[in-house]
Amino acid sequence: MDSLDSSVIIAGQKLFILQRDRSHSFQWEKYGFRLESPQGAVSKDTEVAVIALAGGNFKVPKGTVLVSAVYAISVSKALLKPLVIELQHCVDLRNTSQTGCLKFVRAPLKSPNAYQFSIVEEGSFSVGNRYGSIERDEFCAFGIVHVGNGDTPNGGGTGSENDTQTQGTNNDSEEETNGDTPNDSSNGAGENSSGGGATSSTSTTPPH
């Protein structure tokens, strides 16, 4: 939290607890975030802090547009095994050729001027699934972009290297499948009632 730039708009916060002798499956559906932790991923109880950002001074690669919320993720201790992170996007993937148009992007949590995102050549996307999946053992700020001329298949906003706002997802159902109840504090900023992923543009137009 202390590492975040003052320009960001915080939509929600969540704290997940990983126990050393257990596997975990967490779902934060309200802001389109899922976490899978295999058994043996941590040597002792470890906290995973996630902050969903609804806007900020985000710089995405040229020719791309954010199609998800941005998530600032940090872990309290080093991991022994990677965690599986799933982020919700707003693109309706109807054929396999479209899956290659989505990419994960990352940016350092501490940034002097802007959050400069770069493409991560990892992760997977599948037809009919509004979540992208990636394995990580180190964390920072993550999101998903659509690569192309700026027009997403579902008519989302146009992207540029200018300051970008992104709206948080808002699915009312929320659960942690292993029964744990992490701390939850959210102010609802950037929520929309569409229930379908987040989009980003300078006009912050909700997805359809």
Q: Which residue has the higher pLDDT, 203 or 84?
A: 84
| Options 2.60.40.10, 3.40.50.2300, 3.40.630.10, 2.60.220.30; CATH of 9-201 | 2.60.220.30
pTM of the model: 0.72
Q: What angle do CA 61, 63, 66 make, to 5 degrees?
A: 65
> How sure is the predictor about 7, in pLDDT bands with cuts at 50, 70 and 90?
confident
Residue-wise pLDDT tens digits, 133-154: 999 998 899 999 999 854 444 4
Structural domain boundaries in the chain: 9-201
Give the chain's mean pLDDT. 77
Q: Which residue has the higher pLDDT, 1 or 93?
A: 93
Q: What is the pLDDT, as a whole number, of residue 4?
A: 79
Residue-wise pLDDT tens digits, 68-85: 999 999 999 999 999 999
> How sure is the predictor about 189, in pLDDT bands with cuts at 50, 70 and 90?
very low
Q: Which residue has the higher pLDDT, 78 or 178?
A: 78
**Looking at this protein, which amino acid is placed at residue 80?**
L
Q: What is the DSSP letter of 100?
A: T
Residue-wise pLDDT tens digits, 23-55: 999 999 999 999 999 999 999 999 999 999 988
| DSSP-assigned states of every residue in 117-178 | -EEES--B--TT-SEEEEEESS-SEEEEEEESSS--TT------SS-EEEPPP--S--EETT
Q: What is the pLDDT, as a whole number, of residue 163?
A: 41
Q: Is 69 helix (H, G, I), strand (E, B) or coil?
A: coil
- Label the pairing between strands 46-59 and 115-116: parallel
Residue-wise pLDDT tens digits, 117-131: 999 999 999 999 999
